[in-house]
Amino acid sequence: MAKKIICESCGTVFPFEKAKDFTVCPVCNASFDDEENETSSIHDDELSFGDDIELSENDSFDEDKIDFWWYSIREPGEIWKGITFEDGNVSINCAKCGHFAGSAPYPIARTKDCLLIDPRFTIKCGHCGNELKNHIFSKRPADWVDPRKRDMWVKDYKNIPKCPICSSTKIHKISMTNKAASALVFGVLSAGHVSKTYKCDTCGAKF
Ligand SMILES: [Zn+2]
Ligand SMILES: [Zn+2]
Ligand SMILES: [Zn+2]
């Protein structure tokens, strides 16, 4: 089983190899002053549902093998907006693409951060097609970002005008007077000239 370091203040799980030299948590900046060996042995103990619980071959606490994260648990009998959730349930995110994936049945066993879901339960992420094989769900990382917001950000980034020749974002708008002048010279609003709005400061291309 891969060793983990878990930030005690925000709960983010780091692979031991990556985090062993961290002095502070890169997510919440909490200090990692604890003795490393001590920290990992404590958390190794947490990575078990007890001797009575038999895991299937795909069930793994290994962060790389987690298929789904949980982010909220509805206890059996909980009432939400007038609906009674007799059996409770768990709201989940796909751990591969981060998108919301609906809900899973109430766990049959749990540790502080991990849930074991009935092995008969199957689900497939509607966004990326990731299929549930590992019935251990780990807690959604503290640095999780709603991918809908992330996608928006990526879209925004894509919308930043870039030079089509060299991809530089160091470009500037050609001034209106220049554009007006070329329109004047050519007499008509020649699309070829007027549509060239930017000049690249890196390679000099106009577009
Ligand atoms: Zn942290
Ligand atoms: Zn997915
Ligand atoms: Zn350029």
What pLDDT does 186 receive? 53
Query: Residue 199 phi/psi, 5° resolution?
Result: -125, 135
One domain, residues 168 and 154: no
* Domain shared by 79 and 98, yes or no: yes
* Mean of pLDDT values over 130-146: 95
pLDDT, residue 185, reads 54
Q: Which domain holds residue 170?
A: 160-200
| Residue 82: φ, ψ to 5° | 80, -5
pLDDT score at 177:
59
pLDDT tens string 47-105 = 788 888 889 999 999 999 999 999 999 999 999 889 898 999 999 999 999 999 999 99
* Residues by chain with Cβ below 5 Å of ion ligand 1: 7, 9-10, 25, 27-28, 30
Residue 205 within a domain: no
Q: With cut-offs at 50, 70 and 90, classify the pLDDT of residue 178.
A: low
| pLDDT on residue 53 | 87
- Chain centroid to Cα 147, Å, comes to 6
Same domain, 39 and 67: no
Note whether 90 and 74 are within 8 A (CB).
Answer: yes
How many CB atoms are closer than 10 A to CB 107? 21
Candidates 87, 71, 89, 76; CA nearest to 138 is: 71
ipTM of the complex: 0.39
**H/E stretch holding 71:** strand 68-74
CA 115 – CA 106 distance, rounded (Å): 9
* CA 148 to centroid of ligand 1, rounded, Å: 24
Residue 41 to residue 198: CA distance in whole angstroms: 59
- Mean pLDDT across the chain, nearest whole number? 82
Interacting residues of 152 by C-beta distance below 8 A, sequence separation 6+: none
For residue 15, report the distance from its CA to the centre of ligand 1, in Å.
13
Domain co-membership, 11 together with 39: yes
Q: Which residue has the higher pLDDT, 128 or 207?
A: 128
